[in-house]
Amino acid sequence: MVSNAPAHRPQAAGLPTPMLPQPFQIQRVSQETPDTFTLVLQPASGTAPFCFLPGQFNMLYAFGVGEVPISISGDPAHTQILVHTIRAVGTVTKAIQKLKPGRVLGVRGPFGSHWPVAEAAGHDIVIVVGGLGLAPLRPAIYQILAHRAEYGNFELIVGARTPADLLYHKELERWRGRFDFRVHVTVDSASPAWRNNVGVVTTLIPRARFDPWQTAALVCGPGVMMRFTVQELLQRGVKPENIYISMERNMQCGIGLCGHCQLGPYFICKDGPVFAFDQIEKWFALREI
Amino acid sequence: MYDGLAAAADLPRGWTDEQEAGSFRLKPQGNQAFFGCTVGQHSWKTFLLPPRTKLWQAERQGHGVEIVPHQEQTPKFAFIGVRPCDLHAIAVQDRVFLEGPYVDPVYQARRRLAFIVAVNCTRAGGTCFCASMGTGPQATTGFDLALTEILHGLEHYFLVEVGSDQGAEVLQEVPHKPATTAVQTLANKLIQETTAHMGRHLDSDGLKELLYRHYDHPRWDEVASRCLTCGNCTLVCPTCFCNAIEDVTDLTGEHAERWRRWDVCFNVDHSYIHGGSIRTSAKARYRQWLIHKLATWIDQFGCSGCVGCGRCITWCPVGIDITAEVRAIRESEKEE
């Protein structure tokens, strides 16, 4: 049994109050897909390390515009930089998209629960992601690869709408060249030039090699994708308490005080965003909850 | 309403209230009691968790940004006339804002300085159901001083219970004498009569489990056909704590501020994430409010979010009654 009980949750380290954003300067911007980009940030002053656990998120503030919750997608071992992959879909994320290197963002965090990466040592690992879902899981992948010997089989299944929507494609290529884990990629639709899988991610789960009784599955993507992926994993015999999913809600405070992110008895920002499936199974199935 | 008092003469002496679902009327009560009114539309959260609070301000500096927390001279309040239900409501918000893992600094600073004079209820309002929720009509804890106002024949006096050292100090400034057994008996009798005359009743036995069993109950559709989703119930509720973050800027674009204001889970925007809101129907929003208040709150904070003050019933413009909604669901189970 693996656990990511809230006891492991660190307080927002080094912040005078978790309600006050700290200025971070944009070092680098890279375009991932037509509407998604990755920012590399550093503290605007000082060199205090930014420590986080895979799966946690920050609140990013665009000056005068507003704030959005964005999961951290860098390597937890690299504490001198902070990496976020963002899809420009709303007022704030579009304002962030316009910022050039050298400009400053406000950062509050890290907040929330984490993928049970350290806790899953000794297990086979299956990571299933859809679309932008790869971003919050990339820190977990880095951490697992850094301690590869501690885990059994490691399978990464990545789905996207089209090849152009795949995040981190150069990194995916590098990962596919490694012999210590298997990377499966599929897209919903593609031109004939695409020489890889076409279809939803669930079709690849039967191909993944893992011992269901000794497996931790980490799943992130759109709601429908997570629902069918969890079903498939359960069918293969993975225990519900060893399947982890990351939930999304309106978040404004990040610290469980504003009430927006409730899902049944949980505040996604402080009890989640990462939950063991058995923890939220009952609420996951309800509509408009 | 609750507002600043300069003298005892500012109290609504000689007035009382008549409350029913969707109705609140003030009327002379024919005696000179200081505390003849039960609870109105305000609650003490107005002072401990202000409706609007500035959290910080920021200035653009070249490519950089300087963010400075807003410094507030914390106001020091003495709350006079806190009803037992509202004492419990303050205790509920203490759990929300002070018991972590994160603490709200604005609430904490105001709460720490507050001096509380409770008043036991010797009359129940038409929408009161504190006896059902175990929160009244007698104050048992959480006050500096607790008063019972007694009008007996031609006599008019207060029985005082001291709840803290600070309360004892304040009492030293006021003429007082030890209470006789007869006075204590009389006060107890008045409070017991209040319990017997509650305007409403809510069967709280197994309430959380009852509601968890009925997320799909047809009653949610029925109540949604009456609910205006105006959110009055959340604004008058002494425990509702949802708040929204508002980032504003000025015309120059050089100065920005962050404000926090009360928010309402009946707004469609409350559950908005990119692409749309999660709770779009009135049914889902009413259900979220009621089940949060009476059920999920218990899992979140170890206590009910309802203290039985009845404000949500009185101030609902269409008179939706939380006790009647729960009863309808409970009775449908008996019929099955």
pLDDT score at A288: 92
pLDDT score at A252: 96
pLDDT bin (cut points 50, 70, 90) of residue A8 is: very low
Residue B135 covered by a domain: yes
Cα-based distances in Å from B290 to B94, B156, B271, B285, B326: 21, 41, 16, 9, 9
pLDDT score at B63: 82
Residue B193 covered by a domain: yes
User: Do the Cβ atoms of B299 and A265 come within 8 Å?
Assistant: yes
Amino acid at B322: I
Class at the top of the CATH hierarchy for domain A6-111: mainly beta
User: What number is the ipTM of this complex?
Assistant: 0.94
Nearest CA in chain B to A104: B64
Beta strands in chain A (DSSP E): 22-33, 36-43, 57-62, 66-71, 82-87, 104-111, 124-130, 154-160, 182-187, 197-198, 215-220, 243-246, 262-263, 266-267, 274-276
Residue B319 covered by a domain: yes
Give the residue numbers in A contacting B (CB under 8 Å), as ranges: 6, 9, 11, 16-23, 25, 44, 61, 63-67, 89-90, 102-104, 106, 248-250, 252-253, 255-260, 262, 264-265, 267, 270, 286-289
Contacts of B262 (CB under 8 A, 6+ apart): B49, B51, B52, B234, B235, B240, B242, B243, B244
Residue B118 covered by a domain: yes
Domain boundaries, chain A: 6-111, 118-284
pLDDT score at A46: 80
**CATH of the domain spanning A118-284:** 3.40.50.80
- List the pLDDT tens digit at each of the 336 positions of chain B: 899 999 999 999 999 999 999 999 999 998 999 999 999 999 999 999 999 999 999 999 888 889 999 988 999 999 999 999 999 999 999 999 999 889 999 999 999 999 999 999 999 999 999 999 999 999 999 999 999 999 998 999 999 999 999 999 999 999 999 999 999 999 999 999 999 999 999 999 999 999 999 999 999 999 999 999 999 999 999 999 999 999 999 999 899 999 999 999 999 999 999 889 999 999 999 999 999 999 999 999 999 999 999 999 999 999 999 999 999 999 999 887
Residue B14 covered by a domain: yes
Q: Tell me, what DSSP letter sits at residue B123?
A: S
pLDDT score at B72: 84
Question: Would you say B136 and B83 are in contact if contact means Cβ atoms under 8 Å apart?
Answer: yes
φ, ψ of residue A48 to 5 degrees: the values are -55, 130
The answer, yes or no, to whether residue A169 has pLDDT greater than 70, is yes
The shortest CB-CB distance from B215 to any of A22, A102, A286 is to A286
Please report the number of interchain residue pairs, chain A to chain B, with beta-carbon separation below 8 angstroms: 119
Residue B3 covered by a domain: no
Residue B157 covered by a domain: yes
The answer, yes or no, to whether residue A10 has pLDDT greater than 70, is no
**Count of domains for chain B:** 1
pLDDT digits (tens, 9 = 90+) for A32-41: 999 999 999 9
Which domain covers residue B311, as residue numbers? 8-335
pLDDT digits (tens, 9 = 90+) for A196-255: 999 999 999 999 999 999 999 999 999 999 999 999 999 999 999 999 999 999 999 999
Residue B1 covered by a domain: no
> pLDDT exceeding 90 applies to what percent of chain A?
91
Nearest CA in chain A to B216: A286
The shortest CB-CB distance from B241 to any of A21, A252, A259 is to A259
pLDDT score at A207: 93
Please provide the size of chain A in residues: 289
Contacts of B120 (CB under 8 A, 6+ apart): B84, B137, B138, B139, B146, B147, B148, B187, B191
